[in-house]
Amino acid sequence: MADRESRLERASGRVLTVPNLLSILRLLLVPLFLWLMLGPEADGWALVVLAVSGVTDFLDGWLARKLDQTSPLGQLLDPVADRLYILAVVVGLALRDVIPWPVALALPLRDLLMWGLVPLLRTRGYSALPVHFLGKAATFNLLYAFPLLLLGEGDGTVATLALVFGWAFAAWGIGLYWWAGLLYAWQVRTLLATVERAPRRKGSGRD
């Protein structure tokens, strides 16, 4: 039993696991995507980067469970990579006039709401709440929407279909993204009303 607990503790501290490396790869692809979109406007390669980002987003979670390589770093890297990926894509698409700015701003504004709730959570001894299914569904829809909207910039039947399906996924994704955010805010409100304020650690605040 002690040996098993020791192995679990070592596993939790691992950094260079396959899932973590995939998350790091996804982070490194963010500036590459922006350069492809705004520099040479190489939409084909930008689509490849989006596809790789989408595949790695699925694989890192699946492999973490399959290989028993979950870690605190991985739990941090995965959502950070998702947020930066979404932010980079909406900014790139907006600067290229693929999507209107109100649509592009709707997603980072929701993230600002989430960040604003973190100090409130910390007053109750929490750093975050469990990821809700709605948030995962929203990310799933957006991961499909962005490549389709970019593909829809072309000509022909395929581009037209891509544009239609891209906006359908985008509408669902943005709606679910905000729904998940508002649900999260309600959970924080409930937590504040039902859980006592966590005691301050010594030296962490003013006397």
Q: Per residue in 164-177, pLDDT tens?
A: 999 999 999 999 99
pLDDT at residue 2 in the model: 47
Give the model's confidence band at 202: pLDDT under 50 very low, under 70 low, under 90 confident, else very high. low
**Same-domain check for residues 40 and 124:** no
Residue 202 lies in a domain: no
pTM value surpassing 0.85: no
Please tell me the least confidently modeled range out of 6-15, 119-128, 189-198.
Answer: 6-15
Residue where a domain stops, chosen among 70, 97, 124: 97
What CA–CA distance (Å, rounded) separates 132 from 31? 28
Do 149 and 175 fall into the same domain? Answer: yes
Dig out the tokens for 91 from the structure.
């900014």
Instruction: Express as a percent the part of the chain with pLDDT over 90.
Output: 11
Q: Helices 101-122 & 72-95, crossing angle to 10 degrees? A: 150
Can you give the residue range of the structural domain that contains 111? 101-197
Nearest to 143 by CA among 78, 31, 53: 53
Q: How confident is the model at residue 160 (pLDDT cuts 50, 70, 90)?
A: very high
Is the domain of 108 the same as that of 21?
Answer: no
- Residue 13 pLDDT exceeds 60: no
- What is the residue-averaged pLDDT of the chain? 80
In a domain, 129, yes or no: yes
Domain count across the chain: 2
